[in-house]
Structure 1
Amino acid sequence: MAGRPLPDLPVVETFPALRTALADHGTAVLVAPPGAGKTTLVPLALLDEPWLEGRKIVVLEPRRLATRAAARRMADLLGTEVGGVVGYQTRDERHLGPDTRIEVVTEGILTRRLQTDPELPGVGLVVFDEVHERNLPTDVGLAFSLDARSTLRPDLRILAMSATPDTDALVTALGDAPLIESEGRMFPVDMRWAPRDRKERIEQATTRTVVQALRDEPGDVLVFLPGIGEIRRTQEQLTGQVGADVDVYPLAGALSLAEQDQALAPSPPGRRRVVLSTDIAETSLTVDGVRVVVDSGLARAPRFDVRTGMTRLTTISTSRASAEQRAGRAGRVEPGACYRLWSKIEHGSRPAHRAPEITEVDLAGLALELASWGTAADDLAFLTPPPRKAMRSATELLERLEAIDADGRLTDVGRQMLGLPVHPRLARMLVDERSPLGCALAVLLDERDVLRGRPDELPADLGLRLRLIAGRGGHDQADRRAVDQVRRRARDLARRLRISFDTDLIDPDRAGLALLHAFPDRLGVRRRPGQFQLRGGTGAWLADDDPLAHEPFVVAADLDGKRNRARIRLGAGLDGDEVALVFGDEVVERTELAWDTDRDELVERVERRLDSMQLGATTRRPEPGEATTAALMDRVRATGLAVLGWSGASIALRQRVDFLHRALGDPWPDWSVEALADTVDDWLAPYLPGATGRRDLERLDLVMVLRSQLPWPQGADLDELAPATLELPTGRSVPIDYRSDEPEASVRVQDLFGTTVHPTAGGRPIVLSLLSPADRPIQVTADLPGFWTGTWADVKKELAGRYPKHHWPDDPGGAEPKRLKGR
């Protein structure tokens, strides 16, 4: 700004060319090494440019810590407070005022502003700092800003600043923008290779090397470690191994503002400091007083994790370019030294530059942003186009999550997901589970497992871990520090969702229901204990003694990646009702009438299915109706009429009519079992309008039903043509059996005395089985008169000998029908 002297740093030399480029071309690319002053001096130098017309400069920083530090440094240079001319905004903090002209923001803030109003009213220049890091949010913000400039805001200036000269894609994306370079001022750095042993932990190797560096070199030491866990453990190991004049401070975005300030403040006279930092100090921050760098050669980088289906921070080896940036921190003010914990040979095999994040991570978040933006990825100026296969997978996932429709348009659910600071899977869960349970689950899945030990020996149940977070029990393998970290992050997430984080409201038993919103493709149904089939058809398994092994359904949040038979590392159980609650219209309810053989009864079986999965089945008494009647008729046919309530009378009636059909033919119907079974719909079904089960079949009056089917008027002759019984001269009667081709009857021979004409039925002689007084067979005949005049004399002698008290006449045809003598 005019009238305000700026520090004499190398980047100042580029200001004339930079002002001209932005004024004439509207875009520019500035390359300046770390420590050249680009982050804090460039925005101040451009604040009074005529083309800015009093509008704001928005500076995009990839990290919260760098955002705060840059804003504070610029405010110090202006002699103002943060929130005045210079302010900043992160996901957690907002220090802006009515007079703010320079806004330093994190990546997500810019994207949200662009999505809300792509014209960026009141903004004249957007500065993208540290674009060489190739973070996905930076690439997205740059692509959206360039799109807005080309369609809505041609007067919007865009400046991309990089610490490395790999800028060809940048220059092209910004419309062949002028490339301006600052040489910087670097002192020689002595490179010392100190590879760690293969079995040596990184904390041990780092501690050993730091102690050596403090002994061999003067000045402060900056140590690069991959994450806060390694920083804390190294800090603990250094305690007691460094001199009393050495302070050891951690530096990471997860630390409090006070801890960060303590690490960045210069050492007092007579003291030295060791700053244990993540890669945040590689280019984004300048740690004054550093003369020695100890580089672990490792960093945390986002990578797609096939086990969870989300992006997760993974420890990787750094690129050669990153190693050079880190080493350069030792030569800013005087010659320095850099200790690298890998070999010179290994260094040559490392990649030249870090891979663009867009090629390494899950792109569901990008696909969601694009759906909201309304422009296809192919029509935007991405520095590296998103891989088509990854974008296709991301789009398919968003459809499953109900975030976009079949045409790729954002749904109401998608709009709610868009503003949530988590992966789209977890955002989808939080849309329906906006609660302490949802927050705790989201953080548990994003953080390292709170249980420590061999993965094969850890239980998979997320409900168990939720109980730890809620303070309801313990576990021998629980890491207390990790549990506390999850609580802190979950509380922070709840604050962003504007809800309270009350652990008493966490219900671990609802974990599966909540999780299913995030992982609808990871639902598994139990085939046998510990063996599950996932919704996509592949298998998954748990140890037989795992608490989830006997659950009817599980949601597998973490699978070990084996495609056909993956092990479930993290998951939660649920039941069929909960599955149906989530999938709603996708659940198909099938109703089937079937005969329950155990109950020997007709039941209505109601089955709910999701794809090939059975969610549950219930049985109930069916309602009367055509389908029920048809099912009963099927049962009657299947049992060959046996299920009906046959009585002696109804059986005899059927047999008599069937005999007449065989003997006389029409009009007598075919009442064989087979014929009646084939025609139950005609003769039986009309009598069962309200029938629902076996009892209705058994209660049916079959004599009435069958008689109603007899032909008219011939049916009236049934009892005469085929009588049910044979009336005897003694006044007794015996049933006639019509099952065979000829009618049959069994009768004591004495009851036929006096009979001279053989009895008939249907015009056929009744085959008589003649019985003794003891009901033993003595003769079978279809010609009774012939029997009397023929073999009766011989039979009579035998009977008279056995039954002397009985009447045995010489001429039975003319004898009185009686059984005993004298009666």
Structure 2
Amino acid sequence: MAPPGAGKTTLVPLRLIHERWLDGLKIVMLEPRRLAARAAGHRMAFLLGEDVGDTVGYQTRDERRIGRNTRIEVVTEGVLTRRLQHDPELPGTGLVIFDEVHERNLPTDVGLALALDARRTLRPDLKILAMSATAQAESLAALLGNGRQDAEAGPCPSIVSEGRTHPIEIRWSPPGKGQRLEQSVTETVLLALRNDIGDVLVFLPGIGEITRVYQALDPLVPANVDLYPLAGALSLAEQDHALAPSPPGRRRVVLSTDIAETSLTVAGVRIVVDAGQARVPRYDIRTGMTRLTTVATSRASADQRAGRAGRTEPGVAYRMWSKLEHSTRRAHLEAEITQVDLAGLALELAAWGTPVDQLSFPDPPPPRTLAQGGELLELLGAFDSEHHITAVGRAMLNVPAHPRLARMVIDAQGHHDQSLACVIAALLDDRDILRGRADDLPADLSLRIRVVTGRERHERADRGAVDRLVRRARDIARRVGVTFDLDDINPDRSGAVLLLAYPDRLAVRRSQPGQFQLRTGAGAWVAKGDPLANETFVVAADVDGDRKNTRLRLAAGIDADEVAAALGDAVETRHTLVWDRERNDIVERLERRLGNMKLDERVRRPGASVATTDALIERLRVTRLAALHWSPAATQLRQRVEFIRRATANSGSAQTWPDWSDSGLVRTLDQWLAPYLDGMTSMTEVASLNLATVLRAGLQWPLGRDLDDLAPMHLELASGRQLLLDYSGDQPSASVRVQDLFGTGVHPTAAGVRVVLHLLSPADRPIQITADLPGFWAGSWAEVRKDMAGRYPKHQWPIDPSTAAPKRMKDR
């Protein structure tokens, strides 16, 4: 342990490289930030009078400057983890240094745990050194000593250097009541420039605050003062510019995130203004989402920041909070491993193979969060059902991005979207290319892709950030063996590609523009004026983490066909036969669903099937046969059978006639009609059926034979004419000219029931109704005869019609 400025980062490796026990092996030193790794590499090379890449080199995610003779390699944490996964023995390496171990970044903890496991099982000679200004030494010493296979087992040795830190005056400067942080910081910086000497290093939580303070200070600082932002999202040139000493006669104000808190010496700084805040990731186990949260820094962080002012000369540190509040702040912030999404850790541990409870972590990963990470990896196909790593999972390890983005890059290789996937992965793995308050920026990912590909310009686009993103995307493509071409990218495919990474964050629009429901059931929203507000489906990449109604910070539109193509195994197509009122017919509704989410619905004419027949039958049942076309022949057939059924009901006959009333036919539709609907798909086809033929065919033998005997369609008259019978009433009836009944002495019957005769004149006018023809002849016929003879003198009107010749006219 040594205070800031003691030379831990740049002097210790140079001193140890000549130790005999190292025996010519390399030193690998981990730095938590890319900027610090570059700065350390350049500083050590400068001290040796060499170029970077000779004795001292460095490697970050985006840059590698290591030569054949390099003995000291400064790397970022992810680089060490990849080396360990590739070859756990770390051949050629004798010492691994973990610098600024107090920061407790997740990659640092993972690298330390894997290195300790490799030392315990494969490389007992591997030396491990942890360095910090504020670490909890006792617990860390116990951790590093655990598992050593020598007589010195127990806590590892601790070395403490007091260093030569110059005195630092702490000044407490809390904001005034109702004063915004940016305003308070601006006033404090101006005060420091007036009252103190040296350059100013200002610590702010994020790039947004840096931008606002920059804009506030720019018109107010003296002419000899330069303003520089410093953040990981800036280009290497911009970072180097901010770190370079001020020219003679000039001063500068460096507005920085916590990137300058450790491992860096910003030359000329004698004043620190500490806003006392940091932006850290926080994982919500209930929503499964991580969001950046602004928190108060710890006392240890405050000491680290203040130490920047005393690196070379006495300095002063302004703290934007009170001394009383300082005493209530936490000594250290929680380790990142306890606060973030652990899907990446779960994948690394599965590939490593040692059970998590046998690894030495400074703080063990929370079991529930680690389990959730495993569930996500199973969803992404990186784990099988037993949570063993799959071939897909091992391929994902080679993509330097979160497992979600890694799966997207791998899967897109089969969708002709490789370049697009690499751009999206680079964009989501870094800061937004659009500058401004998050609430004021559009959420549309495809808009950003159009900016990156040059298809569109946007006033808030940061050209430098766009260039860095393209370089990062090219690097990802190189690592996975993809040919990268910006001209190949179709921005409209952004949603389809993004869904490969976030299958659980598909959202469907509700009734109101901008209101969505996530696949999980939670609500989500964008502003009504956002380009995505009217999309039917969106995929969310960045959300604010609100549990009930999260705001979509970055998302992309997608259509139902793209969802089905990406998540085909999970998409269910439901076929339903329903009645369409507009078409007045049966239709088939095809509904594609993803769980409880309806993707789309199409309506078409159904195909021939048992289900279609059943639906047609059901429609007839509901409408009580109204959709059927009853021809006169079919209607008469039903009436004849119904008549016989009534007439023979109490006759004791062994024959049972079917019930062809509406209720009877409805009740037996499956028996008499369904067989004839086979192959039919519409009510129009059903209406074309010859129901008389259908019903007649349904009469079993001998009923079909007896039908014409018991209830004939016609009666043969003595005149030779046929008399059509009507069976619609309680008794059969017929309308007949009275002359056609001459020669008929017996009243006609059907099934033993007298036919009601409606007697007509030669002009077809009613004369009389009778069910007793002999009685009529013998009775009222005489009067009728007189009337008819007077009206129709040319016609014959015999005195005894029952025996008269059946003819209408007199003989000439």
TM-score w.r.t. the length of structure 2 is 0.87
Match of 2:503 in 1: 520
Q: Which amino acid aligns with 1:764?
A: V
For 1:368 and 1:799, the matched residues in 2 are separated by: 111
- Specify whether residues 199 and 669 from structure 1 end up closer, same or farther in structure 2 by C-alpha distance, changes over 3 A only: same
Q: Is the 8 A contact 2:284 2:545 kept in 1?
A: no
- 1: CA distance between counterparts of 2:620 and 2:211? 79
Range with bigger deviation, 180-189 or 268-277: 268-277
Query: Residues 699 and 231 of structure 1: is their aligned pair in 2 closer, same or farther, counting only changes over 3 Å?
Result: closer
Displacement after TM superposition at 1:63 (Å): 1.0
Q: Deviations over 1:411-453 (max 9, x none)?
A: 3333333233333333333333454533454455553583757
Aligned mates of 2:110, 2:562 — CA distance in 1: 37
Q: Deviations over 1:435-492 (max 9, x none)?
A: 453345445555358375793x7654444444444444566xx5243x6524532442
Q: Contact 1:307–1:560 (CA<8 Å) still a contact in 2?
A: no
Stretch moving more, 754-763 or 393-402: 393-402
Per-residue CA distance 1:149-183 (angstroms, 9 max, x = gap)? 22222222211112114233312322222222212
Tell me how far 1:108 sits from its aligned partner.
0.8
Given that 2:715 and 2:722 are in contact with CA atoms closer than 8 Å, whether structure 1 keeps it comes out as: yes
Distance 1:747 1:563 in 2: 86
Q: Deviations over 1:80-100 (max 9, x none)?
A: 332222221111111112222
Match of 1:755 in 2: 744
Compute the displacement of 1:191 (Å). Answer: 1.6
Q: Which moved more, 1:385-394 or 1:308-317?
A: 308-317
Secondary structure of the residue aligned to 1:405 is coil
Counterpart of 1:403?
A: 382
Q: In structure 2, how many angstroms separate the alpha carbons of the residues matched to 1:574 and 1:167?
A: 52
Equivalent of residue 725 in structure 1, options 687, 690, 714:
714
Partner Cα distance (1:449, 1:198) in 2: 35
TM-score (norm 1): 0.86
User: Is 1:71 the counterpart of 2:34 in the alignment?
Assistant: no
Aligned to 1:427: 406
Name the structure 2 match of 1:764. Answer: 753
Equivalent residue in structure 2 for 1:152, among 103, 116, 122: 122
Q: Is the 8 A contact 1:667 1:711 kept in 2?
A: no
Name which of structure 1's ranges 672-681 and 100-109 shifts more when overlaid on structure 2: 672-681
Percent of pairs with identical residues: 62
The partner residue of 2:597 within 610, 613, 620 is 613
Mean Cα deviation higher: 36-45 or 298-307: 298-307
Q: Aligned in 2, Cα 1:653/1:551: closer, same or farther, shift over 3 Å?
A: same
- 1:591 matched to 2:580? The reply is no
Over 3 Å counting, the alpha-carbon distance change for 1:308 and 1:94 in structure 2 is farther
Equivalent residue in structure 1 for 2:269, among 282, 287, 290: 290
Question: Take 2:735 and 2:320, find their aligned partners in 1: how far apart are those partners?
Answer: 111
Equivalent residue of 1:417, what SS?
Answer: helix
Aligned to 1:41: 11
For structure 2, the 5+ residue unaligned runs are: 147-154
1:100-157, Cα deviation, whole Å (9 max, x unpaired): 2221110110111112222222222211110111111101111111122222222222
Change (3 A) 1:661 1:250: closer
Say which of 85, 91, 99 aligns to 1:115. Answer: 85
**Partner of 2:151 in structure 1?**
none
Which is worse superposed, 273-282 or 226-235?
Answer: 226-235
Aligned to 1:335: 314
Equivalent-residue separation in structure 2 for 1:574 and 1:420 (angstroms): 25
More moved, 445-454 vs 316-325: 445-454
**Residues 660 and 295 of structure 1: CA distance in aligned 2, closer, same or farther (over 3 Å):** same
Tell me by how many angstroms 1:757 deviates.
0.6
Per the alignment, residue 109 of structure 2 pairs with 139
CA 565–627 in structure 1, closer or farther in 2 if over 3 Å, else same: same
- Secondary structure of 1:615's counterpart equals strand
Contact 2:422 2:476 in 1 (8 A): no
Give the 5 Å matches for 1:530-545.
Answer: 530=513, 531-541=515-525
Q: Deviations over 1:743-773 (max 9, x none)?
A: 2323343432332111111222222233455
Contact 1:65 1:253 in 2 (8 A): yes
Give the distance between the partners of 1:759 and 1:265, measured in 2 at CA.
126
Asked if the contact 1:655/1:671 (under 8 Å) is kept, the reply is no
What is residue 656 of structure 1 aligned with on the other side? 640
Aligned residue among 335, 350, 356 for 1:356:
335
Whether the 8 Å contact between 1:252 and 1:278 is mirrored in structure 2 is yes
> How many residues get paired?
789
1:571 equivalent to 2:555? Answer yes
AA partner of residue 318 (structure 1) = T
- The aligned counterpart of 2:149 is none
3-state SS of 2:567 partner: helix
Which of 704, 708, 721 aligns to 1:715? It is 704
Structure 1 CA distance for aligned equivalents of residues 258 and 435 of structure 2:
27
Partner of 1:24: none
Matched, 1:56 2:26: yes
Correspondence 1:479 to 2:460: yes
Residue 588 to residue 260, structure 1, CA distance change in 2 (3 Å): closer
The alignment yields a C-alpha RMSD, in angstroms, of 3.5
| Residues 174-229 of structure 1: CA deviation (Å, up to 9, x unaligned) | 22222222122233222222333455554544444334323323334333333445
SS of residue in 2 equivalent to 1:528: coil
User: Residues 583-603 of structure 1, C-alpha deviation per residue, up to 9 Å, x if partnerless?
Assistant: 111112233444544334444
Aligned to 1:738: 727
Q: Secondary structure at the match of 2:129?
A: strand
Q: Does 1:667 align with 2:623?
A: no
Letter in 1 for 2:602: T
Q: CA deviation at 1:512?
A: 2.3
Instruction: For 1:566 and 1:203, locate their aligned partners in 2 and report how far apart those are by CA, in whole Å.
Output: 27
**Aligned pairs for 1:174-213 within 5 A:** 174=144, 175=146, 176-197=155-176, 200=179, 202-213=181-192
Q: Which residue of 2 aligns with 1:95?
A: 65
1:377 is aligned, of 356, 365, 381, to 356
Kindly indicate whether the alpha-carbon contact (under 8 Å) linking 2:62 and 2:475 is maintained by their aligned counterparts in 1: no
How far apart in 2 are the matches of 1:711 and 1:225? 95
Q: Judge conservation of contact 1:330–1:336 (CA < 8 Å) in 2.
A: yes
Separation in structure 2 between the aligned mates of residue 261 and residue 474 of structure 1, nearest angstrom: 28
1:242-263 deviation line (CA, Å, top 9, x unaligned): 5565555444444444444444
* From 251, 255, 259, the counterpart of 1:280: 259
Q: Distance in 2 between matches of 1:703 and 1:149?
A: 93
CA distance 1:300–1:284, change in 2 (3 Å):
farther
Alignment-derived partner of residue 152 in structure 2: none
1:481-508 per-residue CA deviation (whole Å, 9 max, x = no partner) reads 3x65245324422333236765554433
Of residues 313-322 and 230-239 in structure 1, the stretch that sits farther from structure 2 once superposed is 230-239
Query: Could you tell me how far 1:65 is from its partner in structure 2?
Result: 1.5
Deviation, structure 1 residue 62: 0.5
Tell me how far 1:682 sits from its aligned partner. 4.3
More displaced, 246-255 or 184-193? 246-255
* Mean Cα deviation higher: 185-194 or 683-692: 683-692
Contact 1:491/1:501 (8 A) holds in 2 = no
Q: Distance in 2 between matches of 1:140 and 1:574?
A: 36
User: Which sits farther off after the overlay, 637-646 or 345-354?
Assistant: 637-646
For the residues of structure 1 that align with 2:238 and 2:555, how far apart are their CA atoms?
36
User: 1:164 corresponds to which letter in structure 2?
Assistant: T
Aligned residues of 1:490 and 1:501 also touching (Cα < 8 A): no
Choose the corresponding residue for 2:301, options 322, 326, 348. Answer: 322
Where 2:159 maps in the other structure, the secondary structure is strand
Q: 1:495 corresponds to which letter in structure 2?
A: D
